[in-house]
Structure 1
Amino acid sequence: MRYPIATLLAAGLLGAASANAQTAKNAPVLSSIKPDFSHPITNIPGKTIRTVLVTYAPGDSSPAHTHAKSAFITAYVLEGAIVSAVNGDAPKTYKAGEYWTESPGDQHGVSANASKTQPAKLLAIFILDDNDGPLTTFDKPH
C-alpha cells in the first residue's frame, strides 16, 4: 500500500515527541504532544510507523533531544513556522508545507515556534524498529 508523503511525514513527527519524554527542570515545554497512531509496516518486517502531533504555543520551544536509536524521522510543518537545527547545523525556519528529516542518532538541538504571536503545529513521522523507545529523550543540562 502506498501512502501520501504528508501522511508519512506526519507519522514521523508525531513519534518524535512522545508521552515518555521528560523535560529538563525550568526548560520551556511544548503546549501539546499527542501520540497519534502506531502501526506495523507489514511489508517491512520488524519496522513500525508512529506519528506524534506537536503543537507549539506562541514563543514555545523544546529542549535539545534525541530520538529512539533506530528512528528515521520526517517532521512536517502543518501550521505556522518552526525553527529547527539538527547536529549543530545552523537553525533554519520551516513554514507550513515544508519538512526536514532526522536520521538515527541525530541530535535535535533547536526546535521552536518561529512566532511570538501565532501558534505552530507539526507532525512527526517515525519509522523505527518495533518496540524501540522511548521516542524522545531530552538532553540533560550541562
Structure 2
Amino acid sequence: MKRILYSLLVATLPFGSVLADDTKFKNAMVTLVYEHELPNAPGKSLRAVLVEYGPGGGSPSHRHPSSAFIYARVLEGTIRSKVNDAPERNYQAGESWIEQPGDHHQISQNASTTAPAKLLAIFVVDTSDREIVIPDK
C-alpha cells in the first residue's frame, strides 16, 4: 500500500518529489492545482497546491525554496502546524497562516486520527524553483 501511495504522489508532483524519504510521508496526497507566471514580477510564479491528509496523515519536517512566500488555508478538518520557533498550533477549517522565505516547517499533520484534512498552499516562488518542498535530511 505504501508503494502505491508513493507512486500516486510522485505522479501528482510535476515539480519534483517531496518524498526524498518516503518513510516520513504518511497518508497524504499533494496535487498542483494551479500555476501561472506573474506578468508584473518577471521570474516569479504563483503556484497553488492542494494538500490532503488522511486520518493521522502528515508530511516530514521540511523547508521550501528560499524564494518562496506561502499562504496556507485549511479547507477541511484541523491541521497541526509548527513553523520555526513559534509554538505548535492547530488550525481549523477557514483559518490560515503564512510562511516567509527560508522558514522551517517542522510539523504539518492532520490533527485527527479519524477524519481527513485538507489545506490549500499558495506559493509565490521563483519560476525556476521546480522542487517546492524540501524534506529535512
TM surpasses 0.5 = yes
1:90 to 80, 83, 87: 87
Distance 1:30 1:138 in 2: 16
Bigger proportion of residues as strand: 2
SS at match of 1:44: coil
Which residue is 2:44 aligned to?
Answer: 47
Distance 1:25 1:49 in 2: 26
Greater RCO, 1 or 2 (C-alpha within 8 Å, sep 6+) = 1
- 1:63 to 2:60 alignment: yes
**In the alignment, residue 33 of structure 2 is paired with which amino acid?**
D
**In the alignment, residue 64 of structure 1 is paired with which amino acid?**
S
- 1:128 to 2:125 alignment: yes
- Alpha-carbon distance, 1:23 to partner: 4.0
Which runs of structure 1 show a deviation greater than 6 angstroms over 4 or more consecutive aligned residues? none
- Alpha-carbon distance, 1:115 to partner: 0.7
Distance 1:47 1:69 in 2: 13
Which residue is 2:4 aligned to?
Answer: none
The answer to whether the 8 A contact 2:52-2:119 is kept is yes
Instruction: Give the direction of change, closer, same or farther, for the CA distance of 1:25–1:115 in structure 2 (3 Å limit).
Output: same
1:1-142 aligned at under 5 Å gives the runs 19-24=16-21, 26-140=23-137
After superposition, the C-alpha distances for 1:24-73 in whole angstroms (9 at most, x for unaligned) are: 25324242111111101112222110011000001111110000110000
The answer to whether the 8 A contact 1:79-1:95 is kept is yes
TM-score by length of 1: 0.81
The answer to whether the 8 A contact 1:49-1:126 is kept is yes
The answer to whether the 8 A contact 1:69-1:132 is kept is no
TM-score by length of 2: 0.84
Across the aligned residues of Structure 1 and Structure 2, the Cα RMSD in angstroms comes to 1.4
| Structure 1 gap ranges (5+) | 1-17
SS at match of 1:22: coil
Percent sequence identity over matched residues?
46
